[in-house]
Chain A
Amino acid sequence: MQSQENRSAVQAAAILILLRMCVFFCGDTPFSMAYAKQMLLTAGVQAALILPLLRFRHRLQIPPRMRFGFRLCAAWEAAYLTHCFGQLAAQLNLRYAGALLPLMLLMLLYTVPLHDRASARTASLLLFLAVSGFLLLPVSGIGTAQRILLHTPAPPVSPLREWADACELPFLPLLMQQQTEQDAKRSTAVWAGFRLLFLPALVLFGTMQNGRLLHFQGNPFFLLLARTPLSDAVRTDGFWLLLACGCGALCITFCLQTAKPHLQAKCRTLAAAFLPYFLFLALLWMLQQAKPLTGIVNALFGIMLPWGMILYRCLMKRRDTA
């Protein structure tokens, strides 16, 4: 983890938001009031634990002994996101999805060695596109949304799932260091606003549209798009699919860029990022039960590790003073 102050607030916020958005696009949890409540609750807890970290921004440097662990965590997140995209292809019955895998690998081989700033700039561009799309969504769906559907009875949503979906958590402390204090505050506030206000509101809007269609086996977000009247006129689902794939590619690239060590030899650098990535991907593909592990990884590297480091440094300082 290098502490170079080279990202603007928009770029950092864009990466954080797109990471969460990416998992949201691929999620199969049906939209319901219970889902929105669980999302709000989990995001509230996460924000309460993350926001105070801003005060200790300069103490969040990961010690060299733990950097390897953090790189493994980033590779795990990349594998989890790739697995999610496999699920999205299955949910949408996408043809030729298998042919996309070698293409994606080629693309990653091209994008991962690029400069870190390239992904940050692309992220702000994609975020701008996503915001434009989301502005159109309520306009197109307001006529068909029914408020009473918020009361549709739905099964409870597991909190562990929400933790697993919060893939941006381990990168929050890293991005906090790479910005000026003011920018770090702004980007973290934007992230918190997105998690606490925007996503639950979007789920509630989806509930008012999808309502009783809780047993649909496909993707709930694309079901929502297909049911809004605007989609009939201009086929907006194509735009959203492209955006989802763009977000996915960018976020996997960002995770792998974080996972690669800073070595002289390019091949060794890439191998150090891609080998654990493929191993984790194979594990996730073969062992579906491994998916909830992401929740533990997110909590461990996003919250427990930064707080652990801060507490450890406080204790050491106190001991030295004594």
Chain B
Amino acid sequence: MISSTIGIWNYWIVFCLMMIGLFLVIGRKNFLKKIVGLAIFQTSVFLLYITFGKIKGGTPPILNESIDTIYSNPLPHVLILTAIVVGVATTALGLSLVLRINSEYGSIEEDDVSAQDLVDYHDDIETGKNFDLKFKK
């Protein structure tokens, strides 16, 4: 009973971690927090893959002399190595987007940014300048 619970305990917690990451992305209005949520989500997916690759009593997949060694599955490890580096690239891109938004709007809260956009839009309708331009195109 205890061993079977521990056998799938990792999966449960990893799913909870994924949902916490997803909540940070869709529920929080701060752009920096959204990127942190993305990183949390990614790391928990990595954990899920590596958990699949584990074999009981196995060793890391580095060949040694003895014949009866059980090696853990190396293929998830390769996938995740690629994914970690790509994950850092997405983090860097997201952070530079946040910096750009901050220099344009002076805020990184989603509510502030969309409110400023709404004000701009109504100003355009009142003055009619950009509104005409939009329809000419």
A, B: real partners: no
Interface residues, chain A, CB within 8 Å of chain B?
none
